[in-house]
């Protein structure tokens, strides 16, 4: 049984798979309380569903979009045991991606790992995630400095996306300025990122 906030289709809004048709399974609950969180609804509310019920919703969405990927997101998905759900999705021949804040680890088969460390947790990352991460996403806030990015670069070769904070009026100039600082410091594969779902106002 998992606590699920919502299951829906949309375009992936962030990272290397931006614009990709995707089914999102949003897990409810997250022990962090980021001030810029764009999924606050998932903090508390959710339906308790058996794996078979979650799959039924995925199958209904997949029926007309057979080539979509499935993205397990949150809330923080790794605060619940995903073993049964992930195995069931692979049996459905889904490509399964994970989006996590980096604090927890489960040794499961995901086709794509997005790790998004947060300032409220001191940008902590579970040590076992570094070998798995396919991309790193960072929200550019005043607390994000070069040392944080350099430390991450020393732990992984995955691209590091710098994204604007959604609620900050100065977000684009601040994000671009920090991107330039990272590039000038010679940190490899730092990328300027966007949130397509914010621009297009889609889920």
* Residue numbers at the binding site for ligand SF4 (CB under 6 A): 30, 32-34, 37, 39, 74-76, 101, 118
- Tally helices (H) and strands (E) across the chain: 6, 9
Cβ 51 to ligand SF4, closest distance in Å?
22
Cβ 47 to ligand SF4, closest distance in Å?
17
Cβ 102 to ligand SF4, closest distance in Å?
9
Residue 86 tokens read as 């992930």
Name the nearest CA neighbour of 179 among 166, 169, 167, 164: 164
> How far is residue 98's CA from residue 84's CA, in Å, rounded to a whole number?
15
Which of 43/62 has CB closer to ligand SF4?
43
Beta strands in the chain (DSSP E): 2-11, 21-27, 47-49, 69-73, 96-100, 112-115, 135-140, 160-164, 190-192
Residue 143 tokens read as 């607390």
Which of 55/115 has CB closer to ligand SF4?
115
Cβ 89 to ligand SF4, closest distance in Å?
21
Which of 30/129 has CB closer to ligand SF4?
30
Contact 175, 163 (CB under 8 A): yes
Cβ 69 to ligand SF4, closest distance in Å?
20
Which of 13/74 has CB closer to ligand SF4?
74
Which of 74/193 has CB closer to ligand SF4?
74
């Amino acid at each position: 049984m998992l606590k699920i906030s919502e299951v829906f289709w949309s375009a992936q809004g962030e990272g290397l798979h931006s614009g990709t048709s995707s089914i999102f399974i949003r897990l409810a609950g997250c022990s962090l309380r980021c001030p810029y969180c764009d999924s606050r609804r998932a903090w508390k509310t959710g339906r308790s569903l058996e794996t078979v019920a979650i799959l039924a919703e995925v199958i209904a969405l997949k029926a007309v979009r057979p080539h979509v990927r499935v993205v397990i997101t949150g809330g923080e998905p790794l605060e619940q045991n995903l073993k049964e759900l992930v195995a069931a999705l692979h049996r459905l021949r889904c490509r399964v991606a994970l989006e996590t804040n980096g604090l927890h680890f489960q040794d499961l088969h995901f086709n794509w790992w997005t790790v998004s460390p947060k300032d409220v947790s001191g940008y902590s990352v579970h040590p076992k995630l570094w070998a798995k991460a396919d991309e790193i996403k960072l929200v550019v806030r005043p607390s994000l400095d070069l040392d944080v990015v350099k430390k991450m670069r020393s732990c992984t070769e995955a691209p590091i996306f710098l994204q604007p904070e959604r609620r900050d009026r100065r977000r684009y100039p601040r994000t671009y300025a920090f991107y330039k600082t990272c590039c000038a410091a010679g940190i490899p594969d730092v990328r300027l990122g966007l949130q397509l779902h914010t621009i297009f106002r889609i889920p």
